[in-house]
Structure 1
Amino acid sequence: MWTGEGPRERRKTVIYREPFRRPPAVHVSISLWDMNTDAAIRAELVAEHVTEIGFDIVFRTWGDSRIARLRAAWLAIGELPFDDDWDDVD
């Protein structure tokens, strides 16, 4: 993302170590960024396509922003499936 202008996007699929019972709440944050400061810094980091088994981290920038690198952190909080769940009890 160092070269080019206009809308740019990168995606990374994350698969959880263990699946959740239902899609969890996912929080993503920037833990490192290396950006050129000659232009405005424009950035968006979101979680998309959240499911029981994973999600996509999506980073977007636009305009003349120049990104050398970025590291994202994430946290998923939700209900885990357990063998002793009571779903099959009448």
Structure 2
Amino acid sequence: MKRLRNHLVGVDQGDVVLFSDFEHDGDMWTGDGPRVTRAHVQFSEAFRAFPSVRVSISMWDMSNAANARADVQAEDVTLEGFAIVFRTWGDTKVARVRVSWQAIGEVPHGDEWELY
């Protein structure tokens, strides 16, 4: 469990359209085997400590001609942002994906300052 040091809890959230590969015959739509795409997300302001980040697929459009295979994760979390990573494999055909995200963590207080 992550414990926060004080009452200054920040919550940032959003939605990201990762790709729309059916529009231009992209690799997620026409490819086979392991495929991955990444999108960087910048928080609206920096956290004081590394936040907990949750991602989930909020929209997917997949072909019904193959199995639906998808893995979505938050990686490379920093104080300023993170990467959404979407993976698929096999013969899965993914037309488009949108991912929702939420980051929760301690934020700096406006009265804090450092001497050195």
Indicate whether the TM-score tops 0.5. yes
Helix, strand or coil for the counterpart of 1:5? Answer: coil
After the TM superposition, list the runs of 4 or more consecutive aligned residues in structure 1 that deviate by more than 2 angstroms. none
Pairwise CA distance, 1:37? 1.4
Q: Distance in 2 between matches of 1:36 and 1:79?
A: 41
Identity, % of aligned pairs? 55
TM-score normalized by the length of structure 1: 0.92
Aligned length, in residue pairs: 87
Q: Distance in 2 between matches of 1:37 and 1:22?
A: 43
Aligned residue among 22, 40, 49 for 2:76: 49
Aligned residue among 40, 44, 47 for 1:13: 40
- Aligned-pair RMSD on alpha carbons? 1.2
- Does residue 62 (structure 1) correspond to residue 67 (structure 2)? The answer is no
Q: Distance in 2 between matches of 1:6 and 1:23?
A: 34
Q: Which runs of 5 or more structure 2 residues have no equivalent in the other structure?
A: 1-27
Q: Which runs of 5 or more structure 1 residues have no equivalent in the other structure?
A: none
